[in-house]
Amino acid sequence: MKIIFIDESDKQKGKGGKYFFVLCGLIIDSECLLEVERRIELIKEKYGFKTLKELRKVDKSLKLAVTKVICEVLRKYDATIISSGIGRVSLRDMDNPTSKYKDALYFLAERYWWYLRGHKTSGMVILDSVDKETEKSASKWFFEFVHNKEMSMYGEQKGNMIDRVHPALLFSNDVYTNILQVTDLIALSLNAAIWNRVSAGESWSIEELPSHNEFLEIYWPLFNSNGKRVDGYGLKWWS
């Protein structure tokens, strides 16, 4: 079984009263779960961190060094990153976090299903805790979505979401989950790269994102791809 840990990126106002919303998922094989958790804990102990969120406050050289060590652990245990993003969303939707979660989860779950199919396995979803209202609404929607969603390619049905994905959304405070803390770091680097492009008001492509953030560049080889591109495989962007 492959477990995906999901965290959201910060939402930031862009030009013309716009912003974007990103969910970032880190996939870990269930057999490696405890070992990855222990390895990350050892990294925290080595650098004297109670939580990896403290990396936000250290100097850049140390943050880059720790990021590389974390990435080495993820690579050793064949971790994979998939993400989904929603852009060009109007400000009127900022008070409706559940809707954003549903839209982003829709795309992320699709990418997750195809990943699981390719590995001939199943999986379940763990998200960083949010407000209880959003958790309740998103859980209900996800349960129904997984049970009813048919998966197809070029008009040919390939299976059902429920064939691969457990229908329950689990929520955990990242304070108690090292893997969610790592997912948060990856989400922040992805957020920063996207914000670099959005705030510039220029057209951009997914493949260029790592060149706009040094930390994302380190994580980029872990993003799911077809061997040539991440777009559509490791990151699904809907504008």
Domain parsing of the chain, residue ranges: 2-233
In whole angstroms, how far apart are CA 69 and each of 171, 194, 216? 27, 24, 14
How high is the mean pLDDT of the chain?
Answer: 89
Look at residue 131 and tell me whether its pLDDT is greater than 60.
Answer: yes
Domain 2-233 falls under CATH 3.30.420: yes
Q: Which residues on adjacent β-strands are paired with residue 23? A: 8, 84
Residue-level pLDDT at 100 = 76
Look at residue 5 and tell me whether its pLDDT is greater than 90.
Answer: yes
> 13 pLDDT band (50/70/90 cuts)?
low
Residues 6+ apart with CB under 8 A from 178: 36, 37, 40, 41, 44, 52
Look at residue 153 and tell me whether its pLDDT is greater than 90.
Answer: no
Q: Which residues on adjacent β-strands are paired with residue 29? A: 2
Question: Which amino acid type is present at position 35?
Answer: E
Residue-level pLDDT at 92 = 47
Q: pTM higher than 0.75, yes or no? A: yes
Residue-level pLDDT at 199 = 76
Residue-level pLDDT at 16 = 55
